[in-house]
C-alpha cells in the first residue's frame, strides 16, 4: 500500500507529459496569434472543462488580456473583433456548440481546444488546438489514460493554458511583429 500514491502520481505525470508534448506547437502559435488580435476573449465549456477554462481566462487576464466567461453577469456582448475559446474534447457538447454557432453568427473568431479533429465544430472553427488524448474515435496517435473518465483531457487543458501563458511571456521578450502585440500594450 505504501507505493500506491507514488505509482499513481507517476502514472498521471507520465500521461500529462506525453499529452502536452504531442500538442502541435503550430496550432498553439495560431491560437496565440488570434488571442493577440482579439479585443475581448470569451470562454465556454461545461463541467470540469469550464473550471479549467476559468483558470486560463484568469491567467490571461493577469497578463493583460480582456477575458470573460460566457454566462457571467458582467459578460459584454461578443462582436466580430472578439474570440470565443471553446473547450470540448468531442466538439459536440451541446451548450458550447450552440454558443459557438451563435458567436460565429456575430462574426467572432472561434478557437476550439479538443481531442478530436474531425468534430461537429470543425466547419465554424478558425483555430483548432488538439490535445491528443483518448477519445471515442480511438485515433492512432492518441495518449491512452488509466485515469477515470476524461481527467487527462481536463488536466492537460489546464496545463496547456499555463504553457500558452508562459509562451506568450517568452515571446514578448523576442523580436516579434509589433502588430501582434498592438492590442496588449500593457504586456511591456
For residue 10, give its domain range: 4-183
Measure Cα distances from 82 to 16, 127, 173 in Å.
30, 13, 25
pLDDT at 176: 46
- The answer as to whether 188 is a domain residue is no
- If you search the block for the grid coordinates 461537429, which residue do you land on? 120
Residue 179 scores a pLDDT above 50: no
- The answer as to whether 9 is a domain residue is yes
Work out how many domains the chain is built from and give that number: 1
DSSP 22-78: HS-HHHHHHHHHHHHH-SSEEEE--HHHHHHHHHHHHHHHHTT--EEETT-TTPPPP
- If you search the block for the grid coordinates 523580436, which residue do you land on? 175
Rounded to an integer, the average pLDDT of 154-160 is: 97
- The answer as to whether 27 is a domain residue is yes
33 in catalytic set: no
pLDDT tens, position by position, 47-63: 999 999 999 999 999 99
- The answer as to whether 150 is a domain residue is yes
Q: Which of 154, 174, 178, 188 is catalytic?
A: 154
pLDDT at 149: 85
The confidence band for 153, taking pLDDT boundaries of 50, 70 and 90, is very high
Residue 113 near residue 86 (C-beta atoms within 8 A): yes
Rounded to an integer, the average pLDDT of 13-42 is: 98
pLDDT at 185: 45
Task: Tell me the C-alpha distance between 89 and 109, whole Å.
Answer: 19
pLDDT at 175: 53
Residue 100 near residue 110 (C-beta atoms within 8 A): yes
pLDDT at 130: 97
Residue 174 scores a pLDDT above 70: no
**Any idea what the CATH number is for the domain that residue 75 is in?**
3.40.50.10490
- The answer as to whether 104 is a domain residue is yes
pLDDT tens, position by position, 89-140: 999 999 999 999 999 999 999 999 999 999 999 999 999 999 999 887 778 8
- If you search the block for the grid coordinates 469550464, which residue do you land on? 50
pLDDT higher for 180 or 86?
86
Mean pLDDT, all residues of the chain = 91
* pTM, two decimal places: 0.90
The confidence band for 181, taking pLDDT boundaries of 50, 70 and 90, is very low
Amino acid at each position: 500500500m505504501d507505493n500506491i500514491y507514488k505509482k499513481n502520481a507517476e502514472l498521471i505525470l507520465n500521461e500529462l507529459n506525453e499529452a502536452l508534448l504531442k500538442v502541435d506547437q503550430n496550432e498553439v502559435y495560431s491560437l496565440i496569434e488570434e488571442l493577440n488580435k482579439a479585443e475581448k476573449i470569451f470562454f465556454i465549456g461545461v463541467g470540469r472543462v469550464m473550471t479549467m477554462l476559468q483558470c486560463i481566462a484568469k491567467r490571461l487576464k493577469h497578463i493583460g488580456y480582456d477575458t470573460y466567461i460566457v454566462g457571467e453577469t458582467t459578460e459584454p456582448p461578443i462582436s466580430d473583433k472578439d474570440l470565443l475559446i471553446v473547450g470540448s474534447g468531442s466538439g459536440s457538447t451541446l451548450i458550447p456548440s450552440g454558443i459557438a454557432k451563435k458567436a460565429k453568427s456575430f462574426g467572432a473568431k472561434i478557437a476550439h481546444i479538443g481531442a478530436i479533429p474531425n468534430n461537429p465544430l470543425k466547419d465554424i472553427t478558425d483555430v483548432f488546438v488538439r490535445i491528443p488524448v483518448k477519445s471515442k474515435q480511438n485515433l492512432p496517435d492518441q495518449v491512452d489514460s488509466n485515469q477515470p473518465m476524461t481527467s487527462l483531457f481536463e488536466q492537460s487543458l489546464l496545463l496547456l493554458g499555463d504553457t500558452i501563458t508562459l509562451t506568450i511571456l517568452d515571446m514578448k521578450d523576442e523580436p516579434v511583429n509589433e502588430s501582434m502585440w498592438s492590442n496588449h500594450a500593457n504586456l511591456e
